[in-house]
Structure 1
Amino acid sequence: MAKPLHLTSPRFRDGDPIPIAFTAEGEDKAPPLNWGEVPPGTRSLALMVEDPDAPDPRHPQRTWCHWILYNLPPGTRGLPEGASPDTLPPGSHEGLNDWQRPGYGGPCPPIGRHRYFYRLYALDTVLADLGSPTRAQFLAAIRGHVLAEAELIGTYEKTHPHVSA
């Protein structure tokens, strides 16, 4: 029996705080991520990082998108620390985060401890070139194509509340 799709990071465990290096208060670089075998029929992988607690975890009003990657080759088993267009697998594309730019934007919550969901999707298709899709465009494109999903949740609360992104 095949193992379910899973997502881990050597820098933080599921449910633990995200190290400051991977936040706007630190180096604002993407954490390293690892996953294992993908389900049979997987033609591509996609990754999205989002914060459902924006702006205040006690009164969330929206989900803030921090990173979108799509068309990662199905043989990919992870991403290096600080993944960028130069280090992404060939054929991979980035969408727009909610700062309206491609690439990883690290946690920078305005108030309280937020949760950050790193979601890996195994897809039964290679997506058409979507350009730089927004979160809504990305979710619409993968609808009906998700074979499996894995999730890693990290948390973060600013150590210096006056710092903003």
Structure 2
Amino acid sequence: MPRLPILAAALTAVFTFAAQAGDFSLSSPDIAEGQPMAERHVLNGFGCSGGNSSPALAWNGAPAGTKSFALTVYDPDAPTGSGWWHWVVYDLPATLAALPADASRRGLPQGARQGRTDFGAPGYGGPCPPSGAPHRYVFTVHALDVETLELPPDASAAMVGFMLHSHSLGRAVLTARYGW
């Protein structure tokens, strides 16, 4: 019988974490859940001629103990076998609750870093899928238990992702679409 209180405590901790993480949300005045992205956010390259402007994003309800945030934009539908990383930003201060439109080019808060995307360089790269079914673009803000991720300047998106999952307190997701 002594195992029952331990199990109850563990389940309480899991459901408390789930409830806290469930309050964490991501929104945008520029993109809407499940809706197509505007041309101003589309890549200017690879045959596309969009504005390549990162959308404005806002989040709230971060879990207790959050010491920093990270943001990723990922296309799970890219025909690569491993998806496509469009934007990786980390070491965002815990006091931050939003990024303005075009933050990738206009500048991020002091100390924030942009990781190398699958375009081969840091910074936002908008959607530009091949013709066919629309692709999903998963915007995720991660609440982290560390102030900074100790990563080299040329860290790949996969390496950043590994560190994000190692330090995650919760995440909030907004998924938009683009394509024909």
Fold shared per TM-score above 0.5: yes
Q: Distance in 2 between matches of 1:37 and 1:127?
A: 22
Q: Which residue of 2 aligns with 1:156?
A: 178
Q: After the TM superposition, which of the residue ranges 20-29 and 84-93 deviates more from structure 2?
A: 84-93
Q: Distance in 1 between matches of 2:163 and 2:154?
A: 12
Could you tell me which amino acid in structure 1 is paired with residue 70 of structure 2? Answer: A
Q: Which residue of 2 aligns with 1:116?
A: 137
Q: Distance in 2 between matches of 1:99 and 1:138?
A: 15
Q: Is the 8 A contact 2:131 2:179 kept in 1?
A: yes
Equivalent of 2:39 in 15, 20, 44: 20
Q: Distance in 2 between matches of 1:100 and 1:72?
A: 22
Q: Which residue of 1 aligns with 2:73?
A: 49
Q: Is the 8 A contact 2:151 2:160 kept in 1?
A: no
Q: Which residue of 1 aligns with 2:27?
A: 8
Could you tell me which amino acid in structure 2 is paired with residue 52 of structure 1? Answer: P
> Post-superposition, which runs of at least 4 consecutive aligned residues in structure 1 deviate over 4 A?
none
Q: Is the 8 A contact 1:15 1:153 kept in 2?
A: yes
Provide TM-score, normalisation by structure 2: 0.80
Matches within 5 A, 1:64-103: 64-84=84-104, 86-103=106-123
Partner SS, residue 104 of structure 2: coil
Q: CA RMSD in A?
A: 1.7
Provide TM-score, normalisation by structure 1: 0.87
Distance change >3 Å, CA 85–CA 74, structure 1 → 2: farther
Identity %: 38
Could you tell me which amino acid in structure 1 is paired with residue 154 of structure 2? Answer: S
Larger Rg: 2
More helix by share: 2
